[in-house]
Amino acid sequence: MSLLIDSGNTRLKWAWSDNGSIVLTDAVLNSQLSFTVLVELWHVLPIPQIVAVSCVNAPQTLALIVSVVKFLWPTCCVVVAQTQIVQCGVRNGYTQPEKLGVDRWLALIAVRNIYQQAACIVDCGTAITVDLIDADGQHLGGMISPGLTLMKQALSTGTQQLPYSEQNYIAGWSNNTLAGIDSGTLFAACGLIERVIALQSFPVQLILTGGDAARIAEQLACACIVDDNLVLRGLSYSVFTVQ
């Protein structure tokens, strides 16, 4: 079996890949990351043949991951995913292909190989990223917006009297400030997604992933699929599919 590691802006999660299937193991917040913590979490795992890593976090985080892997499993092969021009049936649409985040690239690969249709991919994480891929695997471009938490934090830091809270409230008209901020940011994200879908000249499957995907999906006026592990699925394809 192979160990897949997805190091995002907020948390690090890992899963096992066995004959193409993904089994999610666990996750840890970036604020809790350390050599000791990862050793404690991973030393009980079976010895992997390959460790594949997707990292959009700081280079120090990638170095930490590799150091822990080599400490626990010295002979294990470590593969770090990188954005390509063409890979696994997907053609990068960026003018500078290497500038497309590897997490977005892997999500495109997953959608191309699993769903095999034109799709709009929305990663609802720290940032909300939107990418469009056609039925032939051509990436048509993307958009980037603050995620729900970043929007709330921006209101708090950019104003004198608007507070910040991580609490989620019932979406809709609110009778207090915190609930109003929560609903406003949630509906802003929904508005972005619905606008993107409305502008498409051809049918697309809307696919959401990321930590806030389920919450945003509940409020959307358009149908969607929530796939929590797109990046890990794409990582598995990118590393283990013969090009």
pLDDT tens for residues 70-124?
A: 999 999 999 999 999 999 999 999 999 999 999 999 999 999 999 999 999 999 9
Give pLDDT, residue 242. 52
One-character DSSP codes across 25-66: EEEEEGGG--HHHHHHHHTTSPPPSEEEEEE-S-HHHHHHHH
Any binding-site annotation on 75? no
Domains delineated in the chain: 2-80 (3.30.420.40), 86-237 (3.30.420.40)
Any binding-site annotation on 195? no
Q: Measure the CA–CA gap between 62 and 197, rounded to whole angstroms.
A: 35
Confidence of residue 19 (pLDDT cuts 50, 70, 90): low
Q: Given a cut of 70, is residue 193 above it in pLDDT? A: yes
Q: Given a cut of 60, is residue 243 above it in pLDDT? A: no
> Long-range contacts: 127-136, Cβ < 8 Å, 24+?
127/9, 128/189, 128/192, 128/210, 129/101, 129/104, 130/192, 130/193, 130/196, 131/104, 131/107, 132/196, 132/200, 132/204, 133/90, 133/108, 134/202
Please give the positions annotated as active site. 103
Any binding-site annotation on 123? yes
| 163-190 pLDDT, tens digit each | 999 999 999 999 999 999 999 999 999 9
Any binding-site annotation on 57? no
CA contacts within 13 A on the Cβ side of 34: 5
Any binding-site annotation on 18? no
- Rounded to an integer, the average pLDDT of 218-228 is 96
Any binding-site annotation on 152? no
Confidence of residue 7 (pLDDT cuts 50, 70, 90): very high
Give pLDDT, residue 182. 96
